[in-house]
């Protein structure tokens, strides 16, 4: 049993997909299978139940997952400490955020970090911001830019990066510029499919006593902006998405003074917050 085998095992246990793990961990499927087989031989038991369609973690696999998470966390901490003894932080730091956040907030966050710790390799992945918390919880990444919500996990450390106001947007040709101009009986609405926007938007409509005509439910704020620009209806999105959208000028912005803003911040597992690289990032 070695560190690399545990890393492969942990990644596979988190996504239960051999092909995705092989691709993400830069190994061939056959190498991954052999590594898992060696672990199973060493443990003397089956760690995964596999068939042609799905992979499941066994009870023994779940027990080994807890062990591997502890070992890998301690190994990363020791490795950073050993490197820190030489007065130069080195290694890797993996981050996740939305495409918009990678343009709006990440550059300021990383500029100082990269200046102080040029030997640290930043591995950045972008995607749906609704995945930020789960990726940190499953230790697929070291830290992520996420939105704080009422059900935000207590196991996570959160460093606020500021508030992001939400705006109502309308197609240009509607000539809508103020909330009081909107007749909700005539205009359709593009509803967010998931994530913090869904809760905030539903709550706002309930407080206003509005029952919107739903045209579509879509994933991602960028998709809402696109559909509104095409004239499909109205939508509510974070202001920063419009600021960095290539089609942001094709919609009208309407201020909403009484809607809850996004609470944007940097998050990591509390039990890993004292790892040198993560601690350095949070202190930048």
Question: Mean pLDDT across the chain, nearest whole number?
Answer: 91
> Looking at residue 115, what is its pLDDT?
87
Rounded-to-integer distance, Cα 75 and Cα 87, Å: 19
Mean pLDDT of 234-242: 95
- Confidence band of 136 (pLDDT split at 50, 70, 90): very high
Asked if the model's pLDDT at residue 139 lies above 80, the reply is yes
Rounded-to-integer distance, Cα 79 and Cα 59, Å: 30
What's the pLDDT tens digit per position in 82-106? Answer: 766 555 678 899 999 999 999 999 9
Which domains are seen in the chain, by residue range? 1-86 (1.10.10.10), 88-161+262-284 (3.40.190.10), 166-260 (3.40.190.10)
- Between 253 and 1, the more confident residue is 253
* Three-point CA angle 78, 35, 13, nearest 5°: 70
> Looking at residue 81, what is its pLDDT?
73
Asked if the model's pLDDT at residue 238 lies above 90, the reply is yes
What's the pLDDT tens digit per position in 26-66? Answer: 999 899 999 999 999 999 999 999 877 788 899 998 999 98
Question: In the structure encoding, which two tokens stand for residue 235, read together?
Answer: 């939508």
Question: In the structure encoding, which two tokens stand for residue 22, read together?
Answer: 């092989």
Asked if the model's pLDDT at residue 78 lies above 80, the reply is yes
- Confidence band of 73 (pLDDT split at 50, 70, 90): confident
Question: Closest by alpha carbon to 138, among 24, 221, 284?
Answer: 24
Percent of the chain with pLDDT over 90: 68
Percent of the chain with pLDDT over 70: 98
CA atoms within 13 A on the CB side of 27: 19
What's the pLDDT tens digit per position in 249-284? Answer: 999 999 998 999 999 999 999 999 999 899 999 988
> Looking at residue 182, what is its pLDDT?
95
For 62, the 3-state DSSP assignment is helix
């Amino acid at each position: 049993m070695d560190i690399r085998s545990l890393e492969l095992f942990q990644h596979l246990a988190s996504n239960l997909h051999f092909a995705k793990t092989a691709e993400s961990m830069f190994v061939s499927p056959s190498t991954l299978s052999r590594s898992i087989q060696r672990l199973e031989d060493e443990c003397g038991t089956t760690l995964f139940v596999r068939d042609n369609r799905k992979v499941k973690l066994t009870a023994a696999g779940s027990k080994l997952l807890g062990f591997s998470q502890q070992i890998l966390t301690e190994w990363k901490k020791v490795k950073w400490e050993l490197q820190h003894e030489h007065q130069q932080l080195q290694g890797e730091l993996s981050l996740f955020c939305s495409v918009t956040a990678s343009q709006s907030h990440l550059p300021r966050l990383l500029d100082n970090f990269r200046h102080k710790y040029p030997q640290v390799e930043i591995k950045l992945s972008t995607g749906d911001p609704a995945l930020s918390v789960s990726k940190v919880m499953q230790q697929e990444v070291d830290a992520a830019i996420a939105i704080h919500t009422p059900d935000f996990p207590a196991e996570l450390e959160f460093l606020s990066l500021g508030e992001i106001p939400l705006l109502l947007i309308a197609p240009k040709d509607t000539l809508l510029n103020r909330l009081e101009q909107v007749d909700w009986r005539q205009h359709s609405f593009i509803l967010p499919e998931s994530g913090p926007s869904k809760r905030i938007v539903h709550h706002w409509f309930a407080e206003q006593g509005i029952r919107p005509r739903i045209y579509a439910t879509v994933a991602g704020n960028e998709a809402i902006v696109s559909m509104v620009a095409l004239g499909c209806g109205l939508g509510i999105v974070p202001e920063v998405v419009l600021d960095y959208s290539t089609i942001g000028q094709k919609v009208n912005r309407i201020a909403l003074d009484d809607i809850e803003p996004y609470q944007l911040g940097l998050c990591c597992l509390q039990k890993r917050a004292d790892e040198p690289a993560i601690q350095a990032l949070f202190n930048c």
